[in-house]
Amino acid sequence: METPFVFGKIATAENFTDREQETAHLVSNFCSLINTIIISPRRWGKSSLVNKASQLAVADNRNLRICRIDLFNVRNEGHFYTLLAESVIKATSSRLEEAVASAKKFFSRVIPRIVVGTDNTNEISFDFNWEELKRNPDEILDLAENIARDKKLKLVICIDEFQNIEDFDDPLYFQKRLRSHWQLHHNVAYCLYGSKRHMMLDVSTNPQMPFYKFGDIFFLNKIKTEYLTEFISDRFSATDKSINSDACAKIVELADNHPYYTQQLAQLSWLRTGTNCTLETVCQAHTALVEQLSLLFITITETLTTQQLNYLHALIAGETSIFSADVMYKYRITSTVAISRSRKALIEKDILDNTAGKISFQDPIYAYWLRHHYFAL
Ligand SMILES: Nc1ncnc2c1ncn2[C@@H]1O[C@H](COP(=O)(O)OP(=O)(O)O)[C@@H](O)[C@H]1O
Ligand SMILES: [Mg+2]
């Protein structure tokens, strides 16, 4: 039997809950071609939300095309330009012949070798001369606008894992280049999203940065408890199992409303359930999940400095006045500078999150593991 929960993949259809306001907001931005930047830690549902909003926006709008690009394995500008060109051509062509014709028509300065998929895959890919492309990427950066204008389309280009551009040779120069072209586009909007909160924030809210005031910025939150509990209960019922309300609430509490972990813990609980899932089942599933992840957590913890660990220890113990002399002494924190430094490094490592000055753990299961296994509080 198919299991009723999904994690690690885009959540669609009955696997997708809540996000009504965010979806409506994004659909409206897409339809009105408003640039958007979405920020949240990883696995909170950005890709799923963009996917959902894209489907709705396209269904409502005959002339709208959405082009989605994922930078998860893109590490240099050349790769980025190639992917952008391929994705834009594919998104604006309904057949392979049209894609080939577009490529011939819209590339005049840097002309790629066109590779057409065999075995009826309908795939097209481009092989650019990297040196030429580096000198002259303008045509690719304006490709979307030129095609949209020519074909009388509206186009939204969604770029996932945007933080990866940090690995490019000169990220700042690259961003300036993108912005200088993209801000002149009238038939294309851009939706940039990524998981490195501090980087995405810096890119979009720092007046010194090229993408400052580029568009509408929104922070995706976790999913509210009432949606998650109803969701879990519905998914159990759909597969002829049930779950009592305490057990449901426990899943959400242990996962700290984290969308991915909620689905994962619900799945582990479901697998352990004969007909009715109880609190005890959930606790067993949670123990198994913590065990399953403990090797990974050990590896992460080994990369931390003693001062970072001391600071985490104080946080895990629930200390609120970490800068006070007593607390610093108790946890062997050497100075207030050490606290600030540790905090900054832990945020950059995606271990902590800073939302409007409130520090929290990004991974609720890691926080649990630190408390109960590592520091054994
Ligand atoms: N709206 C949602 N409803 C239910 N589960 C969700 C939702 N959004 C995300 N999830 C869960 O979180 C996981 C990660 O979602 P994803 O969209 O890939 O996050 P991100 O792009 O922020 O890393 C999904 O596989 C799913 O388990
Ligand atoms: Mg994603």
Q: Where are the domains of the chain?
A: 19-219, 225-299, 303-374
In the block, residue with structure tokens 């080939």:
100
Using most ligand atoms within 8 A of CB, pick from 10, 37, 43, 350 the residue to mutate for ligand 1: 43
In this prediction the pTM is 0.94
CATH number for region 303-374:
1.10.10
CATH class for the region spanning 225-299: mainly alpha
CB 192 within 8 A of CB 178: no
- The H or E element that residue 160 is part of is strand 154-160
Residue 198 is predicted with a pLDDT of 83
Q: Is 127 exposed, middle or buried (0-12, 13-18, 19+ CB in 10 A)?
A: exposed
CATH number for region 19-219:
3.40.50.300
Print pLDDT tens along the chain (377 aa): 688 999 999 999 999 999 999 999 999 999 999 999 999 999 999 999 999 999 999 998 999 999 999 999 999 999 999 999 999 999 999 988 999 999 999 999 889 999 987 766 668 899 999 888 888 899 999 999 999 999 999 999 999 999 999 999 999 999 999 999 999 999 999 999 998 888 898 899 999 999 999 999 999 999 999 999 999 999 999 999 999 999 999 999 999 999 999 999 999 999 999 999 999 999 999 999 999 999 999 999 999 999 999 999 999 999 999 999 999 999 999 999 999 999 999 999 999 998 888 999 999 999 999 999 999 98
Residues contacting 351, CB < 8 A, separation 6+: 300, 312, 361, 362, 363, 366
Residue 199 is predicted with a pLDDT of 87
- Residues in contact with ligand 1 (CB, 6 Å cut-off): 6-11, 15-19, 40, 42-48, 195, 259-260, 263
